[in-house]
Chain A
Amino acid sequence: MSIREEQVSMPQQDPEKRVENFDEVPLGYDAEAAIAEAERCLQCDPAPCIEGCPVGINIPKFIDEIRNEKFQEAIDTIKESNNLPAVCGRVCPQEEQCQEVCTLGQSFEPVSIGRLERFAADWERKHGQVENSVDNEEDGRIAVVGSGPSGLTAASDLRHLGYDVTVYEQFHQAGGVLVYGIPEFRLPNEIVAREVENLRETGVDIETNKVVGRLFTVDDLLEGNRVDQFDAVFIGTGAGLPYFLNLPGENLNGIYSANEFLTRVNLMRAFKFPEYDTPVKVGDRVATIGGGNVAMDSARTALRLGAESSMIIYRRSEDEMPARDEEIQHAREEGIDFRLLRNPKRFLGDDGEVESIECVEMELGEPDESGRPRPTSVEGSEFDIPVDTVIMAIGNAPHPLVTRTTDGLETGEGGTIKTDEGGKTSRERVWAGGDIVTGAATVIRAMGAGKTAAGDIHDWLCQKDS
């Protein structure tokens, strides 16, 4: 039997319809499609895809299980390494990880590992047996600060090792960037809520509305000062402090950070205002500054909120865009207008409201320290783009509250926390992982860091007691 050269396509919502709603865009494989895609896997041994996965999922094994219609076994295999498969199957950049090194991909399209992972996770949500009981209690209490991807992963792994785990989340809802940042049409909050609920059922205590760094400090957690005492603390507070360009006029009304814009819509449900109390303002002409996934999310969200035109302004060309190809493609299908090699110089307004962006044309030069061609402005090429709303999606700095309030915690450039390979910080009994250590990166990298730190904490606790 010859191997199918192309991936089995996944049905998705029609672009014209989906810009009017917040429902998921890709609809997922059905069993038949999943089995057909699983049949494409060459079952390599050793398998490069496992190496390509930041959490080391046994990919050939779960794919083979799907091929044999053993869906429960498939999800169990994934969950040995990944506690959030429904999330990762949707938002992981598989094309740069497992799928990039897929042997089949050298000749044809690689196996769509991400879609298969999502299929297995969705199958479990509909039909599966979620096994949430955890026994073999170990002696040890761990506090996890932040309930984003790294925190949830660390919490889950430590709990499954048998420890007593408490997660502190500052928002009223757990999930971190998965619920405040990533839009419904890419990752429904309900899916994250379900994963969080599963974690709760395993016995992890998730405490929302607890702002570590203000309500109590990491030292309070270590010493049991006003709160329960913990043997170790894992800090996974993420990259939550939005950057601005510090350009003239940036504080005009109508200019949002992507964080604010997306939080209002995703976490606070402003797309249902006034049924929900939180408003968001979207004018007819919306410009998003930046070229990452967050920029795509913002521009596409603006369209769904009724913008007549939604554009991306990015200073390099499409080749350098950090966004996933799939996200760029989805944005294009929906009619997002890409204004590439353009950079804002200042924001102009009237009566406090933004009215236009003065931009300059850019050209690409020699590679800079990021390895991408350095953009330089073309002299005298200034021009105005009329806008009603601007969204700044140029990245986020590490969240400052915990680092500022924890003495002796060594930090690196831009306020990231320094750790060793196991995630251990300069402070005794304190680990960290995710965007707070690396600066803004991906969900799966953060999960990988949570996993590594959980293992390291476990090793340390075992040694301590022996």
Chain B
Amino acid sequence: MKKIIEKKKVGEGVREYKLSAPLIAEASKPGQFIVLRLHEKGERIPLTIADADKDEGTIKVVVQSAGKSTVQLNREFEAGDEINDLAGPLGNPSEIENYGNVVVIGGGVGIALIYPIAKALNEAGNQVTSIIGAQTAEKLFYQDRIGGVSDRVIVTTDDGTAGKEGFTSDAFREVLETEEVDRSWAIGPVMMMKACQEVAADYDTELVVSLNTIMVDGTGMCGGCRVEVNGEAKFACVDGPEFRASDVDFEVLAQRTRTYEEEEECALSQYLEGDEE
């Protein structure tokens, strides 16, 4: 059992949890994830570690309400409550070194996930530009936090209610138009990462993406997370989750992410109906 120390609303439908997990906090590195299971009948859901405090023995995860488990977590679990199972850290850490000038792009809940990477890159001496984007101003979060570990933050919203109107990939293009970038990261919805890769390809710059795929165990045993990288099947959990974007087949990734659409809808609607009774 793992205790929720703190729960915060960080955006529309997005909650940040601070969890007591001393061993994981000590072992975790930027780019890694955990798998949690809410209760005895729960599924195992992978969540990227948004921050870790070794001294305090806590980690943070940021959860967007999407399927049944995330909706249930965000609705029912409060500070002081316990989560049945928590395992991690999983996946390979981000490759952090002093590359020079770097860009870190986060879209939607991906904003939370770029924070530890931006922070580590900043500490390694890089010039860090962070681009964060959401559909609308209400869904934006972590601007100040990310600002604190970046040399520059560019905000975009699809509807123009905050920052520049447009997508993160548009802002990425503008940066690449004016300066030499040594390496970039993009984390967010599949289509956003794909758009960013299209931009990166135009400027022949290296982009790394972190793939949040369907997983069961998170340690290489199920293969549900397999993605096509350079024409070969790779497991996001043990070979990734970060891959060079130019090697990733985003079509296969998008298609595999849709596997359980019907079941997810069924589970969510049953859960919500049960709630009304």
Contact = CB atoms under 8 A, between A and B. Distances in A.
6 contacts: A214-B219, A215-B87, A244-B223, A253-B259, A254-B259, A257-B223
Given A171-B87, A256-B224, A277-B69, 6 more contacts: A242-B221, A244-B223, A253-B259, A260-B221, A260-B223, A352-B258
Nearest to A353: B255
B106 to A, nearest CB: 24
Give the most central of A244, A259, A277: most B CB within 10 Å: A277
B201 interface: no
| Shortest Cβ-Cβ A-B pairs, 10 listed | A352-B255, A279-B263, A260-B222, A277-B43, A257-B223, A172-B85, A209-B87, A278-B43, A240-B221, A276-B41
A246 interface: yes
A374 interface: no
Interface of A: 170-172, 180, 208-211, 214-216, 226-227, 240-242, 244, 246, 250-254, 256-257, 259-260, 263-264, 268-269, 273-279, 281, 352, 399-401
Contacts of A264: 216, 222
A221 to B, nearest CB: 13
Interface string B19-54: 000011011000010000100011110000000000
Contact of A246 (B42, B88, B233): B233
A242 B44 CA distance: 19
B79 interface: no
Contact of A401 (B26, B88, B238, B267): B238
A251 B225 CA distance: 10
A213 to B, nearest CB: 8
A445 to B, nearest CB: 20
Nearest to A242: B223
Given A241-B221, A274-B270, A251 B88 contact: no
A260 B214 CA distance: 11
B248 to A, nearest CB: 12
Contact of B89 (A214, A275, A279): A214
Contacts of A268: 43-44, 216
Contacts of B260: 279, 281
A276 B85 CA distance: 15
B221 A281 contact: no
A259 B44 CA distance: 15
Contacts of A246: 232-233
A111 B174 CA distance: 79
Contact of A263 (B41, B42, B217, B235): B217
A307 to B, nearest CB: 16
Give the most central of B26, B87, B223: most A CB within 10 Å: B223
B126 to A, nearest CB: 26
Q: How large is the interface on B (under 10, 10 to 19, 20 to 34, 35 or more residues)?
A: 35 or more
Contacts of B18: none
B119 interface: no
A210 B27 CA distance: 12
A172 B87 contact: yes
A226 B222 contact: no
Nearest to B90: A214
A274 B267 contact: yes
B33 to A, nearest CB: 10
Interface in B226-264: 226-228, 232-233, 235, 238, 252, 255-256, 258-260, 263-264
Contacts of A240: 219-221
B266 interface: yes
B161 interface: no
B41 to A, nearest CB: 5
B15 interface: no
B27 A259 contact: no
A170 B217 contact: yes
B255 A269 contact: no
A246 B88 CA distance: 29
A172 B222 CA distance: 15
B25 to A, nearest CB: 11
B263 A263 contact: no
Contacts of A214: 27, 32, 88-90, 219
B23 A242 contact: no
A356 B233 CA distance: 20
A232 B15 CA distance: 43
B137 to A, nearest CB: 33
A241 B234 CA distance: 12
Contacts of B256: 251, 253, 352
Contact of A260 (B27, B86, B224, B228): B224
Nearest to A260: B222
Nearest to A253: B259
B89 A215 contact: yes
A299 to B, nearest CB: 18
B252 A281 contact: no
B194 interface: no
Interface string B75-118: 00000000011111110000000000000000000000000000
A59 to B, nearest CB: 35
Contacts of B86: 209
B60 interface: no
Contacts of B264: 279
B41 A277 contact: yes
A215 B90 CA distance: 8
B263 A251 contact: no
B221 A215 contact: no
A250 B233 contact: yes
B66 to A, nearest CB: 13
Contacts of A215: 23-24, 27, 87-89
A434 to B, nearest CB: 15
Nearest to B220: A241
